[in-house]
Amino acid sequence: MPFDDRRDAGCKLAAALAKYKDQRPVMLALPRGGVPVAAEVAVALNAPLDLVLVRKIGVPFQPELAMGAVVDGGAPIVVRNDDVIRLAGIGEEDFRVACDRELAEIERRRQRYLGSRERIDVAGRTAIIIDDGIATGATTRAALRATRMRNPKTLVLAVPVAPTENLAAMREEADDIVCLEDYARFGAIGYYYSDFSQISDQEVTEILARFPTPAADEARQSAA
């Protein structure tokens, strides 16, 4: 296996992203699996850590198959996988219902993970989106498009492993892509990790607690 676990993948990814250390980068993790990966990169690059709340919209009778993805925001961004929608025979009403269900889960996660935590402003900075891998690419593409609208100076996608074909498609969305391993015949992300245990909500909140937002960190230092 290329990676022992997500922490190992994060350490290896950090080495590949070292060139960005002096560019005031912000790590934007896709929860849950991308958070422990991004945390290792954030430590190595001395960068803040935040989340991109994005959810796959699964086919109703095959939830692991993505027919799209949605990203949280004032006007949620929806990315459709029209080929899957057509082949699965999904109508617009069924798609909307599935999309609304994932938006509700995004809201639950926002309250659970972030609460009143301040969102980090990425405008004019290098925003690095990190996940534990790419499968269909729907969630990754949605995260990239949503982050682009926040006006980063440079938008980077960084993942340990991805399908070669889907990775190539991402080059239209990101200014740079850092991927340690890519394969024409891919399978599932978990195939490339010795330990691909599910990450819990509690683990996500515990990791985020180690990375105070810049405003919170300044307030703490002033109080000291």
Confidence of residue 1 (pLDDT cuts 50, 70, 90): confident
pTM of the complete model: 0.88
- Domain covering 6-210, topology: Rossmann fold (3.40.50)
CB-count exposure of residue 172 (10 Å: 0-12, 13-18, 19+): exposed
State phi, psi for 171 to the nearest 5 degrees.
-65, -15
Nearest-Å Rg of the Cα atoms of the chain is 17
Q: Categorize the per-residue pLDDT at 187 as very low, low, confident or very high, splitting at 50, 70 and 90.
A: confident
Report domain extents, the chain.
Answer: 6-210
- Max alpha carbon distance in the chain (Å)? 60
Q: Mean pLDDT of all residues in the chain?
A: 91
C-alpha to C-alpha distance for 131 and 30, rounded to whole angstroms: 5
State the pairing for strand pair 154-163/25-29. unpaired
- pLDDT one-digit tens code per residue, 134-182: 988 888 998 999 899 899 999 999 999 999 998 888 999 999 999 999 9
